[in-house]
Structure 1
Amino acid sequence: MSLFQLFLVFVYVGMFTIGGGLVAITLMQQELVGRGLITAERFYNMVAISESTPGPIGINMATYIGYEMYGIPGGIIATFGTVLPSLVVIIVIARYFGKFQDKPLVKAAFFGLRAGTTGMIAVAAFQVILVAVLSLDSFSRTGRWQDIADWRAFAFFCIIFVLQVKIDWHPVFFIILGAVFGIIFL
């Protein structure tokens, strides 16, 4: 893949990322892992690192992937490719949205966009769970049901899920807790 092709992939990702960075992850995964440019495990390690760093995850992922593939120029090109469509669209929307926001067709379109992007975010979350909590590749190698999940990762996932729902702590706390858990138990 050339640097220009990398730019086009991330323009595509940026163009169809409606709903936030988790949707971008789904598109990046389809484009990069699907083409065999990076492995699924490497991709989800990049997701974990990008989630743990400040800033929007879609931009963090684009910068990280571009950097991994082509160094600093790749990081800049991938980031610019991701941001460019949003920049153009937001300029157009800022100019005309006030005139059209109350139209029934516009309201209906946004209703559908919310539902569709929620589904895409759910797919991204499910794919991360498959890699982070379930060990389907271990199961496929051994055929033993005991190997289908890493019980430590699953237990920690459940604990964090419950804590996040019940306690209003800052997400940084959970990120740090996850890193400490990984260092201690793996």
Structure 2
Amino acid sequence: MSLLGLFFLFMYIGLSTIGGGLVAVSLMQQELVARSIISSEQFIAMIAVSESSPGPIGINMATYIGYELYGIWGSLVLTAGIVLPSLIVIILIARFTQSFQDAAPVKNTMYGLRAGAAGMIAAAAWNVLAVAVFTLPAFYASRRWTDLVDWKSAAVFCLFLLVQIRFQRLHPIFLIIAGAVIGLVLF
């Protein structure tokens, strides 16, 4: 896909992203992996790097994907593409929010948008989990249930899930460092 085509694709993703960066990541996965622009494995690696970098994950992903595909210009163009719709929409909303913030249709719309965004985030999480923990190729080859899950990865996933739920104020950098150390030792 051309750089201009990716710019418009990322504008679409930026415009469609209601609910945060993880929704953008889900849309990126749907659009880029389905079109074979990048592989699932590349995408998961990009998530890991983007999540461990400062800043919003959606913008980090756009920057990283742009760089991987088109170098520094790709980074700049895809980052602009994903940010521009939000910038325009927020400026427009800020101008009119005082007049309509208490209107029932506006509140009801937001409830629906939040629920939809939560579903999209859950789908993105499932897709990442499917690549990171489940070993479908090994399972299809052997047809043994014990080959369906990479048990080391599943244990690390469960550990990090429980730690994140229990210690919600724990800075993500500690989990990222712990994940790197565990990866070096365990795998």
In structure 2, what is the equivalent of residue 163 of structure 1? 163
Q: How much has 1:37 moved relative to structure 2? A: 0.9
Taking structure 2 as the reference length, what is the TM-score of the superposition?
Answer: 0.96
In structure 2, what is the equivalent of residue 10 of structure 1? 10
Q: How much has 1:138 moved relative to structure 2? A: 2.0
In structure 2, what is the equivalent of residue 81 of structure 1? 81
In structure 2, what is the equivalent of residue 113 of structure 1? 113
Q: Percent same amino acid at aligned positions?
A: 56
Equivalent position amino acid for 1:151 in 2: W
Aligned length: 186
- After TM superposition, the structure 1 = structure 2 runs for residues 45-84 of structure 1, keeping only pairs within 5 Å, are 45-84=45-84
Q: How much has 1:94 moved relative to structure 2? A: 0.6
In structure 2, what is the equivalent of residue 31 of structure 1? 31
In structure 1, what is the equivalent of residue 181 of structure 2? 180
Equivalent position amino acid for 1:138 in 2: A
Distance in 1 separating the partners of 2:57 and 2:138: 29
Q: How much has 1:164 moved relative to structure 2? A: 1.6
Secondary structure of residue in 1 paired with 2:149: coil
Distance in 2 separating the partners of 1:24 and 1:164: 22
Equivalent position amino acid for 2:164 in 1: Q
Following TM superposition, the consecutive aligned residue runs of length 4 or more in structure 1 with deviations greater than 6 angstroms are none
Question: For structure 2, which runs of at least 5 residues remain unmatched after alignment?
Answer: none
Equivalent position amino acid for 1:13 in 2: I
Question: For structure 1, which runs of at least 5 residues remain unmatched after alignment?
Answer: none
Equivalent position amino acid for 2:39 in 1: T
In structure 1, what is the equivalent of residue 128 of structure 2? 128
Taking structure 1 as the reference length, what is the TM-score of the superposition?
Answer: 0.97
Distance in 2 separating the partners of 1:165 and 1:86: 30
Q: How much has 1:179 moved relative to structure 2? A: 0.8
Distance in 2 separating the partners of 1:39 and 1:22: 18
CA deviations 1:67-93 (Å, max 9, x no partner) are 000000001000000000000000000
CA deviations 1:42-100 (Å, max 9, x no partner) are 11111111111111000000000010000000010000000000000000001001100
Distance in 1 separating the partners of 2:118 and 2:71: 33
In structure 1, what is the equivalent of residue 98 of structure 2? 98
Q: How much has 1:141 moved relative to structure 2? A: 2.7
Q: How much has 1:170 moved relative to structure 2? A: 1.9
CA-based RMSD: 1.0
Equivalent position amino acid for 1:178 in 2: G
Equivalent position amino acid for 1:146 in 2: T
